[in-house]
Amino acid sequence: MKKIILILLALLIPLSIFACGGNDSDNDEPSDKPLVMTSLFPQYDMARHIGGDYVDVEFLLPPGVDPHGFEPTARKIIEIMNADMLIYTGDSMEPWVPRLIADYDAEQLKILDLSENVERIGLFQSDQDFGDADEDADDDFDGEIETGIDTFEIYGYQTDASMFAYVHDDHWHGSLPNVGVDQVIALSADIIDFNQLARPLDAAENELGIALAEGAPEGVVALENHGDHVRIQGLNTGITMVEFHWIYEGQVRYKTPPINIQVRETVEDDDSFYDPHIWLDPLNAIQMVRDIRDAFIAMAPEHETTFKANAQDYIDRLNDIHRDYLDLAEHRRTNVMMHGGHNAFGYFAKRYDVQYLTPYRGFSSDAEPTSGAIANMINLMNEHNINHLFTEIGIAPNVAQAISEETNAEVLTLYSAHNAPADDLNAGITFIDMLHHNLEQFKIGMQYDQTD
């Protein structure tokens, strides 16, 4: 049946489409080289360097397109399924890949997930030396209950850095973890009201509650309230909706919008809650190169010597970048990185001991910061005289510009490197070029001085 669907897709696409398009390979004679599809720019650049003259590599993203919301067209689906290999970075960045694999049979297509051999992190939260002016604000509570919530974030209970979803205005960003039948997951929350008062969950005054949303299917999950956390047990496969509550002195003061939770037969490791931007740590990028090299050798063993040599050349360049970043860490006057772009640099910050602060809480570039988070960043920058602010090439600069206007900070641009603007692609930019550009911007923003 799946093969029939694939054939019908092919018949529905006019043959004239295949005669046009921006990829040079569309106009060439059929090649006997292996065809490799790559979902993001870093692996595209790595693969074309490693493969050299012996592998045809195609970049799936159109120039400047955000991969977080990318879905391949029917034509691209056919091309992918007829390729020899698809290289991607994991289900959290490219959720269309597992759906593609589930919907179509592809006897010859090899799937290479580059996140499998790196240590992944959740939402990166660095320790802040700045202090929190509102840390004890709840001690001054005057008896008036503020039912408006500025920040409502759901975390894994007793985990160090895994935020799954958060409420913005009247809707959710992110999603809850899937749960297996008979499996139990525990979740906690950060709750801050419109007065910027934190509501610490102490199982006495402030509690976290959970309940089925009105009209939601019953019998899918069992829900338990435990004051500072809630427990969700999978009962039967399916999807239902739950809402979370802020409970103050036994009364529900706030209800979140409903959010889906899915129960599967079994759940082993859900990729959707990890930070997908693994390539911005050069040592992770080296592992990605090694994985591509090994996959190419398995695919075309007759070219093993070339693949190894090309991969080593790329690894050497990444090691040079790593040494440069270590030198920056040694000679910087500040390790603070105020970022007005989306939450993409957690791996870089963790590797090089950077205090990384962004008002964007989720990993997607379409996430929206809360007004409280923006105000907090502005206050910190003004209080500590931080006069540099980072943002990203290819991301709308509105938030960074607004923060810059309130702080007089110089805005510095970075590549998150998942894609590249058309001009850069046409100029032949490489992933290594992007990392070098970032290094120079970091040197300015972190006040690099070799005399220190």
Residue-wise pLDDT for 54-68, tens only, equals: 999 999 988 878 776
269 domain residue, yes or no? yes
188 within a domain of the structure (yes/no) = yes
**Residue 153: beta bridge partners?**
166, 190
Strand duo 85-88 + 56-59: pairing: unpaired
CA distances for 103 relative to 1, 73, 93, 94, angstroms: 10, 14, 19, 15
Q: What is the mean pLDDT of residues 219-229?
A: 93
Determine, yes or no, domain membership for 169: yes
CA end-to-end span of the chain = 67
- Whether 198 has a pLDDT exceeding 50, the answer reads yes
DSSP state letter for 138: G
Matching residue, tokens 């950060």:
190
Count Cβ neighbours within 10 Å for each residue of 398-409 and write b for 16 or more, e otherwise: ebbeebbeebeb
Q: Token digits for 333?
A: 């006057």
How confident is the model over 113-142, as pLDDT tens digits?
998 888 877 654 333 343 333 333 333 333
> What is the pTM for the complete model shown?
0.67
Give the residue from 163, 221, 169 showing the smallest Cα distance to 189.
Answer: 163
Backbone φ and ψ for 88, nearest 5 degrees, come out as -140, 180
Domain contains 175:
yes
CB-CB neighbours of 235 under 10 Å = 16
What backbone torsions phi and psi does residue 329 show, to the nearest 5 degrees? -60, -30
pLDDT grade for 364, boundaries at 50, 70 and 90: low
- On the question of pLDDT at 50 being above 90, the answer is yes
Q: Is residue 39 part of a domain?
A: no
Question: What CATH number has the domain bearing residue 208?
Answer: 2.60.40.1080
Q: With 0-12 CB in 10 A as exposed, 13-18 as middle and 19+ as buried, what is 180?
A: middle
22: CB partners within 8 A, 6+ apart:
none
**151 assigned to some structural domain:** yes
C-alpha to C-alpha distance for 37 and 111, rounded to whole angstroms: 10
Q: Nearest 5°: phi and psi at 450?
A: -70, -15
Q: How far apart are CA 189 and CA 193, in angstroms?
A: 13
Residue numbers of the domain that contains 268: 137-273
Q: Which of 259-263, 294-298, 367-371 has the lowest mean pLDDT?
A: 367-371
| Cα 127 from Cα 355, distance rounded (Å) | 7
Is the per-residue pLDDT at 207 higher than 60? Answer: yes
Phi-psi region of 126 (alpha: psi -120 to 50; beta: other; left: phi over 0): beta
| E strand intervals along 119-193 | 149-156, 163-168, 171-174, 179-180, 184-193
8 Å CB contact between 306 and 52: yes
pLDDT category of residue 147 using cuts at 50, 70 and 90:
low
DSSP structural state of residue 445: H
Residue 197 burial by Cβ neighbours in a 10 Å radius (0-12, 13-18, 19+) = middle
What the block records as the tokens of 77 is 């689906």
Provide the domain count of the chain. Answer: 1
Residues 6 or more apart from 56 whose CB is under 8 A from it? 25, 31, 33, 34, 35, 36
Sign of CA dihedral 324, 285, 116, 260: positive
Containing H/E element for 18?
helix 15-18
Q: Which residues of 242-272 are buried (b: 16+ CB within 10 A; e: fewer)?
A: bbbbbbbeeeebbbbebbebbbbeebeebbb
Smallest Cα–Cα separation from 283: which of 322, 326, 328?
322
Residue 338 included in any domain: no
Residue 362 has pLDDT above 70, yes or no: no
377 with 360: CB under 8 angstroms? no
As a whole number, the mean pLDDT across the chain is 81
Q: Spell out the residues 6+ positions from residue 336 whose beta carbon is closer than 8 angstroms to its own.
A: 354, 355, 357, 384, 386, 446
- Is 363 part of a structural domain of the chain? no
Q: Among candidates 57, 54, 51, 49, which has minimal Cα distance to 24?
A: 57
- Answer yes or no: is pLDDT of 292 > 80: yes
Q: How large is the average pLDDT for residues 419-442? A: 95
Q: H helices of 345-415, where?
A: 346-351, 371-383, 398-407
Average pLDDT of 149-156?
82
- Specify the higher pLDDT residue, 297 or 254: 297
Q: What is the reported pLDDT for 312?
A: 96
